[in-house]
Structure 1
Amino acid sequence: MAVRKLRMGMIGGGKNAFIGAIHRIAANMDGLIELSCGALSSNPETARASGKDLFIPEDRNYGTYKEMIEAEYKLPADRRMHFVSIVTPNFAHFEPAMMALEHGFHVVIDKPMTLTLEEAKKLNTKVKETGLLLCLTHTYSGYPMVKQARQMVKEGKFGEIRKVCVEYPQGWLSLPTEREGNQQAAWRTDPSKSGKSGCMGDIGTHAAQLAEYISGLEITKICADLNRVVDGRLLDDDGNLLLKFNNGANGILMASQIAAGEENALTIKVYGEIGSLEWHQEEPNTLKVKWLDAPAQLYRTGNGYLSSFAQHNSRTPSGHPEGYLEAFANIYRNFALTLSAVLEGDLPTKEMLDFPNATDGVRGMAFIENVVASGQSDQKWYDFKI
């Protein structure tokens, strides 16, 4: 049980930033966290103007993340921030995260964790050295029915897993909007800001994380076909992967941002020896379960027959929609409950500890680098290297 609100500092997420507002709503939803300070833009003037709009106290409304971390570090323990939330584009993740860890602050960070695999490994090493917490906001793992699916697989309900099919089609980059003033499109298609991959780095990582999270397996081999469909685009905007997992299972992963008409149609199907499951992000309250020798079943959020993990991450009675914001909030809540337990000298429960961490961040960056390498290679199967 938390005995205090956790004080959060935010880096990025100021004026005209989509994901910053999502993080603040998610962090605030359970009353466990308060926004105490911020450096909300790489432009000091914009940072301070953004902080003023959010009523951050003037003396803790910083122009740069370095200024914030150094100033907060000097404050008394009962005033300084407990953790920092980093909601900047990919290229601006590593340095503030490393500086925060070096100054003793826990970290929440948007995915993918860094710009390169080397940076991710360094952060993971620092987390292990310091014993601090790092939470990676792979939102979709926060849905109650995703938790339910994971537990059913873990309990062997479907027998050995044989096949995993996951797809994440979007249509918002079907036209060259990065050249038409769309800031979100501009940085995501810029290698200097996004990294080696566009579509696979942005949403393919979500699909891969979900496949491993629900199945409990790890990807060991990849055969990748990456495409740049829109003329002049510098990074992939579409891709198809064949996968091999560490138990011998096979899989298919499709991610596309040029699938005109699609919104965020993330879908996963997991097939075992005696049954299978199916979950759609655009209808997240329902988990479809199918059996080899019995009628299909629908599991629904908010019911007492669900696992402790699903119930821990449900907020309303059955029939009341719980969506993206609630799933995002579940990531923050589990992190906050774990951090509060650590601060009180208590042991977090297994349900509290169920959030993506630095190890997941390393696997995410390895996924990006291996997919790009496979896409550039002529060999059929490319070993998943970390």
Structure 2
Amino acid sequence: MGIVGGGLGSFIGRVHTMAAGLDHRCTLVAGAFSSDPEKSKKTAPTYGVDESRAYGSFEAMLDAESRLPEEDRIDFISITTPNHTHYEIAKAAVEAGFNVICDKPMTFDLAQAEALLKTVENSDVVFALTHNYTGYPMIRQAREMIQAGELGTINAIRSQYIQGWLAERVEDGDHKQASWRTDPAKSGAAGAFGDIATHAFNLGRYVTGELPESVSCHLKTFVEGRRLDDYGTAVIRYQNGALGTVTASQISHGRENDFELEVDGTLGSLKWRQESPNEMVVRRNGQPAQIYTRAPGSGTMTPLAEASCRLPAGHPEGFYGAFSNIYAAAFDDIARRAAGESFERRDTVYPNVYDGVEGMLFIEQCVASHQQNSAWMPLSHPAARR
């Protein structure tokens, strides 16, 4: 593993390296931890990386690693930097023949996402996108139950991600995360919607498989002086006739990472909440509510959901495990590529470059809809996974 980002004080860089190593299938051996060569070298020992493979830029890392014997060089890079840097790094890595695991959103805008899609399609690399909530066992349980028709025809998809950490203007202080996430030059055209609403939209797509048709969105900036939205709601029309809603907030006091998904079908409904990730509730009229739990070996879990568990029932398994499931599935394909075998590139268990394009379209069209008084905007894309 090689990493771009993850310097001293980084949150998501640490998450990536811990998740990647959870199953002992990879070792972090190189990193461009900072664009400052000295800071990069100072960071390296905190990851157990030799200073000789701590680089001052991703270009230097790709160049130096490419020159090493194949058995010694990195096999993939993880991109854990702010949004505006993703495209340049990912494109260079793919063109150099390295597999890529990229944090979301995939790029700064839709044009970059579509260009990166072409680069990936013209290569043979594995490209994974860390919409990590798709890795939770009960989310994968929901996906397989819906695919099997247990909820019938899908009528409604409600997804919301509610936080409160930006209820005050903390970006004016020494808060690195807030600083870049509220900066249009680094985060993109959307704030809360570009940051967490993309997760909410993606999870509904992942679980149900329903294709979006159009979106109407209203965004709001409640904190005075902030340059990007910190609250918003979108209504989505799906091609099968279903309706969806996505709500995102970063100004709701006392809320942490309250991410919730509900799906209504003609035969039943389900509900999952990220802060209680090992449970999922399924309801049908005239029957007691069923609480599905992450219980491997019980006979109640679908194959994909059970394969996503690492601990026995009753031992909480959460964020790192879900993140690691994305890596584990990508590693399977990286191993297939290394062995010269074919592998699925579109309909993968993990989110991929196609999901990345769809996510960027969602952000762009939500912003465009808001700017046109919540007008309905098309949301279908040829790259959408079916």
1:46 aligns with 2:39: yes
1:132 aligns with 2:125: yes
Q: Of 356, 372, 375, which aligns to 2:367?
A: 372
Q: 1:56 maps to what in 2?
A: 49
Q: Of 307, 313, 332, which aligns to 1:312?
A: 307
Stretches of structure 1 lacking an aligned partner (at least 5 in a row): 1-7
Q: 1:177 maps to what in 2?
A: 170
Task: Map 1:51-130 onto structure 2 (within 5 A).
Answer: 51-130=44-123
Equivalent AA in structure 2 for residue 316 of structure 1: L
CA contact (8 A) 2:218 2:374 kept: no
Distance across 2 between alignment mates of 1:139 and 1:324:
8
Q: 1:167 maps to what in 2?
A: 160
Q: 2:182 maps to what in 1?
A: 189
SS of 1:34 mapped into structure 2: coil
Distance across 1 between alignment mates of 2:230 and 2:285:
37
Shift of 1:161: 0.2
Cα-Cα RMSD: 1.5
CA contact (8 A) 2:218 2:373 kept: no
Distance across 2 between alignment mates of 1:347 and 1:353:
13
Q: Of 318, 323, 326, which aligns to 1:323?
A: 318
Equivalent AA in structure 2 for residue 63 of structure 1: G
Q: 2:220 maps to what in 1?
A: 227
Distance across 2 between alignment mates of 1:154 and 1:223:
27
Q: Residue 354 and residue 233 in structure 1: after superposition, are their counterparts in 2 closer, same or farther (change >3 A)?
A: same
TM-score normalised according to structure 1 size: 0.95
CA contact (8 A) 1:337 1:348 kept: no
1:342 aligns with 2:337: yes
Q: Of 350, 360, 365, which aligns to 1:355?
A: 350
Shift >6 Å, 4+ stretches: none
Shift of 1:181: 1.5
Shift of 1:344: 2.2
Distance across 1 between alignment mates of 2:68 and 2:300:
47
Stretches of structure 2 lacking an aligned partner (at least 5 in a row): 382-386
SS of 1:175 mapped into structure 2: coil
SS of 2:213 mapped into structure 1: strand
More off after superposition, 368-377 vs 339-348: 339-348
Distance across 1 between alignment mates of 2:194 and 2:34:
23
Distance across 1 between alignment mates of 2:333 and 2:239:
30
Task: Map 1:183-262 onto structure 2 (within 5 A).
Answer: 183-262=176-255
TM-score normalised according to structure 2 size: 0.95
Task: Map 1:28-39 onto structure 2 (within 5 A).
Answer: 28-39=21-32
CA contact (8 A) 1:243 1:251 kept: yes
**Can you list the C-alpha shifts for 1:230-256, whole angstroms capped at 9, x where unaligned?**
000000000011111111100111100
Equivalent AA in structure 2 for residue 336 of structure 1: F
Distance across 2 between alignment mates of 1:308 and 1:136:
23
Give aligned-pair identity as a percent: 42
Alignment length (residue pairs): 378
Shift of 1:54: 2.1
Q: 1:156 maps to what in 2?
A: 149
Distance across 2 between alignment mates of 1:135 and 1:379:
32
More off after superposition, 230-239 vs 125-134: 125-134
Distance across 1 between alignment mates of 2:160 and 2:364:
19
Equivalent AA in structure 2 for residue 319 of structure 1: G
SS of 2:189 mapped into structure 1: coil
SS of 1:360 mapped into structure 2: helix
Shift of 1:29: 0.3
Distance across 2 between alignment mates of 1:287 and 1:346:
37
Equivalent AA in structure 2 for residue 344 of structure 1: A
Distance across 2 between alignment mates of 1:293 and 1:151:
24
Equivalent AA in structure 1 for residue 265 of structure 2: G
Q: 2:14 maps to what in 1?
A: 21
Shift of 1:385: 5.4
Distance across 2 between alignment mates of 1:379 and 1:305:
43
CA contact (8 A) 1:91 1:193 kept: yes
Shift of 1:63: 1.3
More off after superposition, 49-58 vs 241-250: 49-58
**Can you list the C-alpha shifts for 1:52-81, whole angstroms capped at 9, x where unaligned?**
332312321111111000011111111111
Equivalent AA in structure 2 for residue 311 of structure 1: E
Distance across 1 between alignment mates of 2:344 and 2:352:
16
**Can you list the C-alpha shifts for 1:145-188, whole angstroms capped at 9, x where unaligned?**
00000111111101100001111000000000000211100000
Q: 2:384 maps to what in 1?
A: none
Shift of 1:379: 5.4
Equivalent AA in structure 1 for residue 264 of structure 2: Y
Distance across 2 between alignment mates of 1:121 and 1:307:
34
